[in-house]
Amino acid sequence: MIAKLKMQTRSVVCVLSLALGGGCWSKALAQGSGCPAAIGNPAGNYMVPGALGDVIYRDAMALDAYSPAGKPRPAALLIHGSRGDKSTHLTQLFEVLERAGFAWFSINYRNLADVRAAVKYIRCPGRFNITTRLVVFAEDTGSPLAASVAQESAASGVVLFGAQFPGEPPTLRIPALLIHGAADDESPPGPVEALCRRSTSCQFFPVPEGIHNFENWHPDQWQWKEELIAWLRGGERGLWKDITYSRPGGFDLRMDAFIPEGAGPFPAVIIAHGGGWEAGEKVTYISPVLGLLAREGFAWFSIDYRLTPYVRNSEQLEDLRNAIRYVRAHAERFHVDAKHIAILGESASGQMVAQVASEPCAGCEVQAVVSFYGVYDFTNWPQNADTRQTLDRLFGQWDTGVLQRFAPIFHITGALPPLLLIQGTKDELYPGTLAYAERLNKAGARFELILLEGAPHGMENWAGRPEWEVYKPRLMEWLRANLSYPIVVKTH
């Protein structure tokens, strides 16, 4: 009798919690009282692996659902506008929401009652692998429905694209992000911006030259994607994947980031991988330093950049500069200190970080540089077919003047930010590092050289060798000293 009473009490609490916009998914599941599983097309929507397509949630109304296994995700409800259906017009959001760590549900509907039913269906305890957090999305004429259902269901927020309201739009009493084309002539941005100003917690993001339908916006107008992900993630810490920091020629260049727990602001390290300027990406070669920096309280940003032979070295350097500019411009978003930033490269990217540091530019200033076994001089390379092919890839038409232009050893001054050089003595680049260090010393530049006796090329080859992994504590000590960041006393 007592056990039965406890079960009934928990059920009442669950109903009340749902009515107030909360949830009790895990408790309901633990008691075996979850809702029946959703049934739909296991082939999904033919756009997103793992999605479930055509789930009937009310009468003949269907939704597509993406709610993968693993840690429960917050949920996004997607409401299309006056044209199309659940598989059109909002499809750009599928990948963006996945990158933000959300489950999503894109619905067909006839009226507000259908949208309410969809919310109830999605939130039914145990049906989907979601948390209690719900954000409602809409475009065009779906906006009034989204505003209504989001507020009456105590959603965590609402996001509107090209919002259209038949009359005076309601004041939004929940967090809102209104993304609107600045050149929208179907729904002029002025009234929507005014709505945002009088709402409780609202951000208005105008897209320069953007027209009404956001699926027609051009790649150079896609900055809304990063703004949306950042808004959804809020103050979330830990690993952020695939942040687009630049779109040269409409091609996304992405970075991964790690944001430590705590108040911040944190010192930051921007990392460029090596790979002979032609290989690698943001998690190759440099992986040994990622966990190291994270555990020691540094924010880090590991970048992709364009590779040869598709671009020249000058464009790679510009990619690195744009990454620095992006981190500095969004320092508040990432809880970093824009005046305490280091850049780190290895091998080919050692040349890149040293070269960028030697050529000051607006918005890409850094306070420290770390180069593992970098390339600092092209003029002393042996003249054979292999090296000429590499130089052709890097510079196109080249002569001695071009090689000197992109060789850090020819651009040393006493005004360089502090440099840390880390080099194995069994690496063919060892002599070049010694020559660079000698020039730095003569110029009165601030630098430190760490030599690892017998170590080969590549920090990934040093893993598991204590005599070579001594670079780790020395790297951390150097970064803290040169970024003016206090030593953290570990208690575990």
Range of the domain at 410: 238-482
User: Do 248 and 297 reside in the same domain of the chain?
Assistant: yes
Residue 220 is given by DSSP the state: G
Confidence at residue 13, expressed as pLDDT on a 0 to 100 scale: 36
**Cα(483)–Cα(236) distance, integer angstroms:** 24
Q: Cα 218 to chain center, whole Å?
A: 20
Task: Check whether residue 223 and residue 299 sit in a common domain.
Answer: no
Asked, for residue 5, whether it belongs to a domain, the answer is: no
Residues contacting 28, CB < 8 A, separation 6+: 14, 34, 125, 126
Domain-embedded: residue 324: yes
- Residue 406 is predicted with a pLDDT of 98
- Asked, for residue 433, whether it belongs to a domain, the answer is yes
* CATH number of the domain bearing residue 309: 3.40.50.1820
The pTM score is 0.88
Domain boundary among 172, 202, 231: 231
Using omega within 30 degrees of 0 as the cis cutoff, is the peptide bond preceding 309 cis? yes
Q: CA torsion, points 373, 376, 377, 381, in degrees to nearest 10?
A: 20
Are both 256 and 198 inside the same structural domain?
no
pLDDT in tens, 346-380: 999 999 999 999 998 999 999 999 999 999 999 99
Is 457 found in the same domain as 314?
yes
- List the pLDDT tens digit at each of the 492 positions of the chain: 344 333 343 333 333 333 333 333 333 333 345 899 999 999 999 999 999 999 999 999 999 999 999 999 999 999 999 999 999 999 999 999 999 999 999 999 999 999 999 999 999 999 999 999 999 999 999 999 999 999 999 999 999 999 999 988 889 999 999 999 999 999 999 999 999 999 989 999 999 999 999 999 999 999 999 999 999 999 889 999 999 999 999 999 999 999 999 988 999 999 999 999 999 999 999 999 999 999 999 999 999 999 999 999 999 999 999 999 999 999 999 999 999 999 999 999 999 999 999 998 999 999 999 999 999 999 999 989 999 999 999 999 999 999 999 999 999 999 999 999 999 999 999 999 999 999 999 999 999 999 999 999 999 999 999 999 999 999 999 999 999 876 554 433
| Predicted pLDDT of residue 283 | 97
Q: Establish if 53 belongs to a structural domain.
A: yes
| Ramachandran area for residue 277 (φ above 0: left; ψ -120 to 50: alpha; else beta) | left
Kindly state whether residue 251 falls inside one of the protein's structural domains.
yes
Are residues 82 and 216 both part of a single domain?
Answer: yes
Distance between CA 301 and CA 329 in Å, rounded? 14
- Residue where one domain finishes, among candidates 167, 197, 231: 231
* Domain identity same for 223 and 256: no
- Tell me if 487 is assigned to some domain: no
22 in a structural domain: yes
Which two three-digit tokens encode residue 275?
């790979």
Number of domains in the chain: 2
User: What amino acid occupies position 252?
Assistant: D
Domain final residue pick, 205, 231, 257: 231
Q: Are residues 25 and 119 in the same domain?
A: yes
Question: Are 276 and 156 contained in the same domain?
Answer: no
Indicate whether 398 and 465 sit together in one domain: yes
pLDDT at 489: 41
Same domain, 372 and 471: yes
Query: In this structure, are 314 and 463 located in the same domain?
Result: yes
Q: Rounded to an integer, what distance in angstroms lies between the CA atom of residue 196 and that of residue 198? A: 6
Residue pair 395/313 in contact by the 8 Å Cβ criterion: yes
In a domain, 491, yes or no: no
Is the same domain home to 202 and 80?
yes
